[in-house]
């Protein structure tokens, strides 16, 4: 193999991210309640913004979305949890109605967790989340692909 044939590799995370984006966009395309307004070019913690529709009319109410994809197994109770950087939660807290969305590849399912629910969980448990590097986000089922 010559030096010209020595090309960058494509890690498994790229494929997982693309599948998560595709599943999320497909869900939005079927939705009568949300539209994709824009994908963020520089991802500091928000992958895209979606806008709420009211009887098909745009409202300018926007949700910031951090999209995750995973192949990890579900917990025994069927729930899905993913670790995120605390700084990501801090970033999303600046915008009301921010959400984490996770695509679980083995079950072709999209799951959601509001930023407020993550914060409420840590505060209710009396955990000092502000001192942690990572936080665990537990997601609830939204949709499965057919």
Which domain CATH number covers 64?
Answer: 3.40.1350.10
> For the whole model, what pTM was predicted?
0.87
| Residue 92 scores a pLDDT above 90 | yes
Residues 6 or more apart from 90 whose CB is under 8 A from it?
Answer: none
Q: Is residue 61 included in any domain, yes or no?
A: yes
Q: Which two tokens stand for residue 141?
A: 């089922």
Calculate mean pLDDT across residues 1-17.
Answer: 76
Q: How many residues does the chain have?
A: 146
Are 103 and 69 in contact by the 8 Å Cβ rule? The answer is yes
Distance from C-alpha of 90 to C-alpha of 97, rounded to nearest angstrom: 13
Calculate mean pLDDT across residues 92-111.
Answer: 95
Q: Is residue 81 included in any domain, yes or no?
A: yes
User: What's the structural domain count of the chain?
Assistant: 1
| Residue 26 scores a pLDDT above 80 | yes
| Residue 2 scores a pLDDT above 70 | no
- Looking at the chain, the whole-number percentage of residues with pLDDT higher than 70 is 96
Q: Is residue 3 included in any domain, yes or no?
A: no
Are 99 and 65 in contact by the 8 Å Cβ rule? The answer is yes
Calculate mean pLDDT across residues 27-40.
Answer: 91
Better pLDDT: 7 or 66: 66
Q: Is residue 57 included in any domain, yes or no?
A: yes
Q: Is residue 1 included in any domain, yes or no?
A: no
The whole domain housing 16 covers 10-144
**In this predicted model, what pLDDT tens digit does every residue of 41-91 receive, in sequence order?**
777 788 999 999 999 999 999 999 999 999 999 999 999 999 999 999 999
Q: Is residue 2 included in any domain, yes or no?
A: no
Question: How many other C-beta atoms lie within 10 A of the C-beta of residue 54?
Answer: 9
Calculate mean pLDDT across residues 9-14.
Answer: 78
Q: Is residue 48 included in any domain, yes or no?
A: yes
Calculate mean pLDDT across residues 103-120.
Answer: 95
């Amino acid at each position: 193999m010559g030096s010209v044939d020595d090309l960058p590799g494509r890690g498994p995370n790229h494929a997982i991210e693309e599948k998560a984006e595709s599943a999320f966009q497909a869900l939005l395309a079927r939705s009568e309640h949300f539209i994709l307004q824009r994908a963020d070019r520089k991802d500091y913690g928000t992958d895209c913004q979606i806008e709420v529709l009211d009887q098909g009319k745009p409202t300018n109410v926007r949700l910031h979305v951090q999209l995750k994809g995973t192949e990890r197994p579900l917990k025994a109770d069927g729930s899905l949890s993913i670790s995120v950087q605390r700084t990501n939660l801090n970033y999303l807290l600046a915008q009301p109605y921010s959400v984490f969305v996770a695509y679980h590849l083995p079950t072709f399912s999209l799951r959601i967790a509001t930023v407020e629910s993550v914060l409420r969980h840590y505060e209710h448990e009396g955990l000092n989340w502000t001192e942690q590097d990572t936080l665990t986000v537990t997601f609830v089922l939204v949709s499965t692909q057919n």
